[in-house]
């Protein structure tokens, strides 16, 4: 068990190193620099800024210096906001992004899985048809389209929610709905197909023949195995929701990590782009590791295979 986790952590470190390296050199391959803008700076000012941030050093020196900062968990200074570190920008936007994402995750889990179960237990009935129609629409329509239409109808026309910001609890309604729409629909479809497959297995037929109560069959024998494919996508889903949607945060003007990322692209703020990318990648890998641990809790065969190694 310890050897397995040590191997996985080692793979995570190597993967993160490759992401850092690729992101660094891609950023520096883009024409221009962080201080290149439509309002041209005086050459001597731009030269002083490049010298201050070490941008005149050879690329390999800048790379090694950046790696040293990463090792000490220092993502470097922001080129757009003087005196502010990228770590501060992430810590500043993380509470808003995490809270919005957590609420969206609750919606996905509380509605997606039950809707999928409802559709599976009523296969080919009107309940199944209604859930699948809604889920298909939710998967097909991009979240930014849902956000824009919802903003126009509920904020501008009906004036039921604020158009931007998080001044009160109503400000979370539209961002959470837009953020969770796709994943809620995806989880509902996955839950339905997974449960239908499990309910057709021989051991379920045997349990029914023994006269076990239908609820006991469903919750004790069916759902545990049906949840395994859902756990497969749980890591990326949680990482996606808890780190926010860049487009959604920009549409609703939420002061989260996603909005900082979008602004950093338009401002050529290299260190912020790289820092948020690395943060997202690290968080995603941690969530995938947690998914592997959940696998061992849900599927005893994984434990057995691990013992036999």
pLDDT in tens, 116-165: 999 988 888 999 999 999 999 988 888 888 888 988 898 888 888 887 77
Average pLDDT rounded to a whole number, residues 252-256: 84
Phi, psi torsion values for 114, nearest 5 degrees: -60, -40
- Average per-residue pLDDT for the chain: 82
pTM above 0.85, yes or no: no
The answer to whether 169 touches 149, Cβ cutoff 8 Å, is no
220 CB-side CA count, 13 A: 10
Query: Which distant-in-sequence residues (6+ apart) come within 8 Å of 53 by Cβ?
Result: 34, 77, 79
The answer to whether 131 touches 115, Cβ cutoff 8 Å, is yes
Is the confidence at residue 180, as pLDDT, over 70? yes
Class in CATH terms, 99-256: mainly alpha
Is the confidence at residue 291, as pLDDT, over 90? no
pLDDT at residue 56, as a whole number: 79
């Amino acid at each position: 068990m310890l050897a397995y986790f040590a191997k996985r952590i080692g793979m995570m470190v190597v993967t993160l190193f490759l992401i850092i390296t690729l992101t660094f050199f891609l950023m520096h391959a883009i024409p221009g620099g962080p201080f290149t803008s439509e309002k041209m700076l005086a050459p001597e000012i731009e030269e002083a800024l490049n010298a201050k941030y070490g941008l005149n050093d050879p690329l390999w020196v800048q790379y090694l210096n950046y790696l040293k900062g990463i090792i000490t968990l220092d993502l470097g200074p922001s080129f757009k906001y003087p005196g502010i570190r990228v770590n501060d920008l992430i810590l500043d936007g993380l509470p808003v992004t995490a809270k919005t994402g957590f609420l969206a995750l609750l919606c996905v889990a509380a509605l997606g899985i039950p809707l999928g179960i409802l559709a599976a237990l009523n296969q080919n009935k009107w309940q199944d048809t209604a859930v699948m129609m809604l889920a298909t629409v939710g998967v097909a329509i991009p979240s930014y389209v849902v956000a824009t239409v919802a903003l126009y109808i509920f904020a501008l026309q009906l004036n039921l929610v604020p158009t931007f910001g998080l001044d009160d609890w109503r400000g979370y309604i539209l961002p959470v709905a837009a953020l969770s729409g796709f994943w809620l629909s995806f989880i509902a479809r996955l839950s339905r197909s997974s449960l239908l497959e499990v309910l057709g297995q021989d051991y379920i037929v045997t349990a029914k023949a023994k006269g076990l109560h239908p609820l006991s069959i469903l919750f004790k024998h069916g759902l545990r195995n049906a949840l395994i494919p859902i756990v497969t996508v749980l890591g990326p889903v949680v990482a996606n929701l808890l780190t926010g949607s860049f487009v959604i945060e920009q549409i609703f003007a939420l002061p989260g990590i996603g909005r900082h990322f979008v602004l950093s692209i338009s401002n050529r703020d290299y260190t912020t782009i790289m820092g948020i990318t690395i943060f997202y990648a690290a968080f995603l890998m941690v969530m995938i590791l947690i998914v592997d641990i959940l696998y061992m809790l849900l599927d005893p065969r994984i434990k057995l295979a691990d013992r036999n190694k």
